[in-house]
A and B are shown apart, each in its own frame.
Chain A
């Protein structure tokens, strides 16, 4: 009952004093109570968390004092499931971790397995891989751009971003038959050669994409609202980012030009001429601008890969790893035996362990595989960049407004499938 009387007292104390006096007294009151923190739960169902991330935010008024991310809401047990499958059957499950970078997941896992096997991947396969990886990077950045702009209130960017995203998915469908989770890469190469007409379509896309990026830039980077929400908002310096293990566009936005494609070239990335986009300040605007430039650089890599696409096999000739061609099954007994062994048991991998890092759209995506000599991996672990990058979120958003937290989370670009696995 005391609360009611308190309320009554408050109600009776309303005066008709001049407004500026009232405001002054209210400000004083707020100042007295400012030590009290409000804990706000955000997620796991929240449209701005890009998935099912849950955040416990400690708020001081409108200012964020601390963030505790709670993950695990899409934990799928993919690493455990991969241990239960033979190497080439584990590729589809591994692909579904970071669901916007499925070619990268497959590349990391296949690259690790190839390193264990000591397998040489044909050059045509390497070039085809690079083409698809870079198309995937563009696609991932387009989804990021569309949804992030949506979080900032720019609805139309979503339509434009998804228009080009659909074009990329059409290309994936053309080469592999699936839009997402294509299982195009496999241990020893790629599953099939690109169909006729694919090259021309990719070239058309490459001709179009840089102008589209300029259009996005005109649409967003000259928009006063977008600029105010991104510029000088939630910066973090490169040293802190490195100490937290952050890689990818977030680190490059802070001025550190660390990109595994240049630093430790895998596949055939050392044969291409491209630039690494770096920012200066490490704020949200740099994170945004770096990704836009990356789309253009990816287009350059794809064009070079198409120009220099070597002829030849797209799959290793090693019959202990690669399935025999379909036509041989009718004529060769040996081919039937190989087919049977590969499909039922799979190939055996010599014992050992390997860590194979690649540069995914979000940073260093490493695949650790340990083999015990059997046809199934003893352990598969992914070092997913989204998971590590999320650690920097609290440091970025400390003492920022809660509205900037949404913009920062969008620019962080976490993929919960990769975080929880």
Chain B
């Protein structure tokens, strides 16, 4: 989206009705809200201002700009993860400063640190408790490749859960994590199918399964009415 900066005030001398003039557009919007625009003028107004897109793209745009990370710190990387919320890097600029303490309200899991074999089931459980659509970032060397330790106690995240973005570093700088999050944001916005399901060909793992026969309604709940198995 392009940001045009214009000084407020009277329209410029040369083109008093220049439609790109901010002041003119504000006046037109006021006229429209008052109901002063009619006929051809109204058609032109709508044509200029209405943006058409698909529902999917609109959802993806909204999702990519409001990722809610889970408040989940593991080790050293958690300190740097906290720094992205602080004033220097300020994740609020991109709409994901709202850390959620419960996985039910989060849609991004940042694995910030080393995951021991004892912790791995808990991490997997937290990931499973998050609602679709969800994404995961493996932050730092430990959760990607066991890092400097590489011993009996550590398990890389890829072994037990799908990871969308790996951020290298030990620990990565806050800027590096921010770059990873922005990459994820771009992925969510442009091509959500490039997520882990497509890459791992993980069919049938969706919580909302697509009905093979019905092509019209893709969102069919796998749990039939009265079925309490998933409750």
Interface pair B79/A93, CB less than 8 Å apart: no
A73–B73 alpha-carbon span in the complex (Å) = 12
- Highest count of chain B CB atoms <10 Å: which of A45, A47, A179, A420: A45
- Given A162-B87, A166-B86, A420-B116, A75-B75 contact (CB < 8 Å): no
Interface pair A75/B71, CB less than 8 Å apart: no
A417–B140 alpha-carbon span in the complex (Å) = 15
Interface pair A180/B149, CB less than 8 Å apart: no
Say whether A76 faces chain B, with CB atoms less than 8 Å apart: yes
Interface pair B149/A417, CB less than 8 Å apart: no
Say whether A378 faces chain B, with CB atoms less than 8 Å apart: no
Which one of B11-19, B151-159, B179-187 contacts A?
A: B151-159
Interface pair B72/A45, CB less than 8 Å apart: yes
A80–B173 alpha-carbon span in the complex (Å) = 28
Chain A residues, Cβ within 8 Å of B173:
179
Interface pair B79/A180, CB less than 8 Å apart: yes
The interface bits of chain B over 1-23 (1 if a CB of A lies within 8 angstroms of the residue's CB, else 0) are: 00000000000000000000000
Interface pair B76/A162, CB less than 8 Å apart: no
Q: How far does the Cβ of B141 sit from chain A's closest Cβ, in whole Å? A: 11
Chain B residues, Cβ within 8 Å of A166:
83, 86, 88
Number of interface residues of A (CB under 8 A): 37
Interface pair B86/A159, CB less than 8 Å apart: yes
Select from chain B the residue with minimum beta-carbon distance to A162.
Answer: B86
Select one of B83, B86, B151 contacting A81, CB under 8 A.
B151
Interface pair A162/B82, CB less than 8 Å apart: yes
Interface pair A76/B119, CB less than 8 Å apart: no
Chain B residues, Cβ within 8 Å of A51:
73-75, 78
Interface pair B149/A76, CB less than 8 Å apart: yes
A100–B152 alpha-carbon span in the complex (Å) = 24
Q: How far does the Cβ of B75 sit from chain A's closest Cβ, in whole Å? A: 5
Chain B residues, Cβ within 8 Å of A186:
none
Say whether B209 faces chain A, with CB atoms less than 8 Å apart: no
Chain B residues, Cβ within 8 Å of A44:
119, 122
Interface pair B152/A181, CB less than 8 Å apart: no
Interface pair B86/A158, CB less than 8 Å apart: yes
Say whether A72 faces chain B, with CB atoms less than 8 Å apart: yes
Say whether B164 faces chain A, with CB atoms less than 8 Å apart: no
The interface bits of chain B over 168-198 (1 if a CB of A lies within 8 angstroms of the residue's CB, else 0) are: 0011010000000000000000000000000
Chain B residues, Cβ within 8 Å of A319:
none
Interface pair A73/B87, CB less than 8 Å apart: no
Q: How far does the Cβ of B69 sit from chain A's closest Cβ, in whole Å? A: 12
Say whether B27 faces chain A, with CB atoms less than 8 Å apart: no
Interface pair A180/B171, CB less than 8 Å apart: yes
Number of interface residues of B (CB under 8 A): 34
Say whether A375 faces chain B, with CB atoms less than 8 Å apart: no
Say whether A212 faces chain B, with CB atoms less than 8 Å apart: no
- CB under 8 Å from chain A, chain B span 77-134: 78-80, 82-83, 85-88, 101, 103, 113-114, 116, 118-119, 122, 126
The interface bits of chain A over 160-173 (1 if a CB of B lies within 8 angstroms of the residue's CB, else 0) are: 00110110000000
A77–B155 alpha-carbon span in the complex (Å) = 12
Interface pair B86/A77, CB less than 8 Å apart: no
A46–B149 alpha-carbon span in the complex (Å) = 25
Say whether A412 faces chain B, with CB atoms less than 8 Å apart: no
Q: How far does the Cβ of A386 sit from chain B's closest Cβ, in whole Å? A: 13
- CB under 8 Å from chain B, chain A span 60-113: 72-78, 80-81, 84, 92-93, 96, 99-100
Say whether B50 faces chain A, with CB atoms less than 8 Å apart: no
Say whether B148 faces chain A, with CB atoms less than 8 Å apart: yes
Interface pair B149/A81, CB less than 8 Å apart: yes
Interface pair B171/A75, CB less than 8 Å apart: no
A359–B159 alpha-carbon span in the complex (Å) = 39
A51–B74 alpha-carbon span in the complex (Å) = 6
Interface pair A417/B76, CB less than 8 Å apart: yes
Chain B interface residues (CB < 8 Å from chain A): 71-76, 78-80, 82-83, 85-88, 101, 103, 113-114, 116, 118-119, 122, 126, 148-154, 170-171, 173
19 residue pairs from A and B, CB less than 8 Å apart: A44-B119, A44-B122, A51-B78, A73-B118, A73-B122, A74-B74, A74-B114, A75-B118, A75-B153, A77-B151, A78-B149, A92-B148, A93-B149, A96-B76, A99-B79, A143-B79, A179-B173, A181-B76, A416-B75
